[in-house]
Amino acid sequence: MTERTYAPGTHPDLPPPSDTIGLIHWLKTNLFSSPVNSVVTLVAIYLLYLALPSAFNWLFIDATYVGETRKDCAQEGACMAFIGERFNLFVYGFYPAELRWRVNLAAILLAVAGAAVLWDKIPARKHMLKFALAYPLIGAWLLSGGFGLESVGTHLFGGLMLTLTIGVTGIAFSLPLGILLALGRQSQLPIIKYFCIGFIEFIRGVPLITLLFVASTMLSYFLPPGTTFDLLLRVLIMVTLFASAYMAEVVRGGLQALPKGQLEAADSLGLNYGQAMRFIILPQALKISIPGIVNTFIGLYKDSTLVIVIGLLDPLGIGRASVADSAWLGLSTEVYLFVAVFFFISCFGMARYSLYLENKLNTGHKR
């Protein structure tokens, strides 16, 4: 049998060695890479072996998914009928049932706007981005009403709708505000510089729950008599300011990671400060800061549950109020499980998108 020859540079790539790919290689690399890791893996497998069967039986085999009261549920299984019975309350809060189509439409439009921002290959992206810029006004109009729609007070907002409203608003506005604060902290103008430093350090030194309490109770003392300021709007402002202070420090870290030669190169090209920041400095700084930015987003999203202390009922607050009903006593486990699954799916999705974005932009954080 004659051996086939190839011209220089035309030899096909050989397949990787069998011991460097596949399930066995993954197990060796990730779970059994050292004696300590092997012991930890075996202990974890044993604990899962003990816990999973009973958890599976409690959640699926012995669980009750249909019922109207706690008495309809089996004692040995999860009473998921409670979640089904109060599902609309968990999702919409106290929003009027006949107007919930507006919440559904706002959620669909949010998904469309989010797709335009997050994926650059979406068709007609330029027009979609214009829609995304206008979405905050459209979403506020759909949810609150006015201009031809029946008005709905924000005191009726609750459940997942309230969490998404706070989380999306905080995420959307804290990033640009944080960028401005980070740039202001490095400004050569003392007034701007020290104002930004004072704002950032004050906000970072005060717990969010304190700011929410101030927004809900004490702010009225500093307003003219008879002035009303919507509670949810106050919460949105405080949450955005709180997140922007942390965002500013994340972005500042990205700015400081860049060599000074980047700005000097921009000067040599004749770019002014705004052009240098827009085309050279900020794109690189934001790419470096992606993990910290998404981490701040996730923290902000989870912190939205703190609004329960000022009387707003997010999914956790709805659940705690619902289990106080005499018909559904003793179901805290099911409530916390439902809320945990919702937050895990949301936060895990943000984390995975962060990883996708890092790899796509090749920022040196590939795993």
- Work out the number of other CB atoms within 10 angstroms of the CB of residue 173: 18
Give the mean pLDDT of 280-306: 93
| Lowest pLDDT segment from 16-20, 24-28, 36-40, 361-365 | 361-365
- Work out the number of other CB atoms within 10 angstroms of the CB of residue 155: 14
Token digits for 100? 């919930």
DSSP 170-221: HHHHHHHHHHHHHHHHT-SSHHHHHHHHHHHHHHHTS-HHHHHHIIIIIGGG
Q: What is the pLDDT of residue 235?
A: 93
- Work out the number of other CB atoms within 10 angstroms of the CB of residue 24: 11
Could you state, in order of their start, the residue ranges of all structural domains in the chain?
Answer: 19-61, 81-95+152-361
Does domain 81-95+152-361 sit in CATH 3.40.1390.10? no
pLDDT tens per residue, range 49-66: 999 999 999 999 999 998
Q: What is the pLDDT of residue 143?
A: 96
Q: What is the pLDDT of residue 36?
A: 92
Band of residue 87 on the pLDDT scale cut at 50, 70, 90: very high
Residue 364 has pLDDT above 60, yes or no: no
Cα-based torsion angle of the residue sequence 250, 254, 260, 263 in order, rounded to the nearest 10 degrees: -100
Residue 99 has pLDDT above 60, yes or no: yes
| Lowest pLDDT segment from 38-42, 233-237, 254-258, 361-365 | 361-365
**pTM (predicted TM-score):** 0.86
Q: What is the pLDDT of residue 141?
A: 95
Residues 6 or more apart whose Cβ sits within 8 Å of residue 363: 287, 288, 290
Q: What percent of the chain has pLDDT over 90?
A: 63
